Amino acid sequence: MFGWKANRHLTRELEIEPPAPEKNRQGIAIVACVKNEETYIEEWVRFHRAVGVRHFHIYNDGSTDATLDVLRNILSPAELTVVPWKMRMQDSRSGEILNGQNIAYAHAILNFGGRYRWMAFIDVDEFLLPRKGQTLDSALQGASGFPNVSLPWHMFGHSGHVSRPSQPVSLSYTMRVPDPMRQNLDASNFKCIVDPVEVTGVSVHHFKTRDHGDVTVNDAGKKFSRRGRKMSEFYSSEFIQLNHYYARSKEELQEKLDRGWSFDSSSQKYQQKVLATIRYIEDNVIEDRRMVDFINENAIALRG
């Protein structure tokens, strides 16, 4: 069952009872909330399947395009679970929009988590790049089996693209913020890979686990508290790098702004945040071709 915390951030932090491990649980699953990602989701799925993701749990927020058709053309029923997740609710007292993404993450752990050794919680504009070995399973060995791994965003900007490039996203964008740990609140954050049968607390950007509380490790197994992981000493991309293709081209960024965020009560606030973040990224960039080199060296097919 869900544990609701009585504060102004309703459903942004949830307490759960960890699911029981199923017999022969194995592999890594990805959990993602999507809406109208027809343009991008094929590349994202093909890449992550190529690096060893066993299953995709897709929480579909009322897509009206061919997102689900694309997924079902690529993935078998053994690799794909689609959960209808058109969720618009708000607290009757405060009027706050409930965080449907976080509730989806908790739902995924409670209902499916017992099947897997690991669950990763990312978006379709985020890619998990193995830096040691060719699969995420091998790369996760750097975390020494600790149940809560935090990966900092490597935030990519426009890379000079005004309109959508002909090449896939992961091959087209190579310019990013040089320091993922820089204390800019909108351009510095984490996504997590966790052992689902150990999770007791769920949030979009951090988790708690049984016996360890909010202690987490970087990809190299270095332990810090949730707040401590923001220190520069926590940074590592030795084993896994999380690439966040935040902006894509200028035209695609405008489309992102026009769509807004499903669980934000203020579209103006959302637009201001996104524009401030992209200005920060574009003013501070270095070239990073690690993803391009990995795809080329491993001959990963991003399109059918």
**pTM confidence score:** 0.93
- How large is the average pLDDT for residues 261-286? 79
Tell me the pLDDT tens digit for each residue of 173-207: 999 999 998 755 566 899 999 999 999 999 999 99
Tell me the pLDDT tens digit for each residue of 59-109: 999 999 999 999 999 999 999 999 999 877 777 887 777 888 999 999 999
CA-atom Rg of the chain in angstroms = 18
Largest Cα separation within the chain, whole Å, is 55
Residue 233 pLDDT > 60: yes
Q: How many angstroms separate the CA atoms of 255 and 204, rounded?
A: 23
Q: How many angstroms separate the CA atoms of 46 and 303, rounded?
A: 7
pLDDT band for position 262 (50/70/90)?
Answer: low
| Residue among 197, 43, 22 at smallest CA distance from 108 | 197
The single residue listed with the structure tokens 């490790």 is 217
Residue 263 pLDDT > 70: no
The single residue listed with the structure tokens 């009027």 is 95
- How large is the average pLDDT for residues 238-266? 84
Give the count of beta carbons closer than 10 Å to the beta carbon of residue 239: 22
Residue 117 pLDDT > 90: yes
152: region left, alpha or beta (phi > 0 left; psi from -120 to 50 alpha)? beta
pLDDT band for position 266 (50/70/90)?
Answer: low
- Backbone angles phi and psi of 118, in degrees to 5: -140, 150
Residues forming a β-bridge with 193: 120, 149
Strands 148-156 and 240-245: parallel
Q: Hey, where are the domains in the chain?
A: 3-297
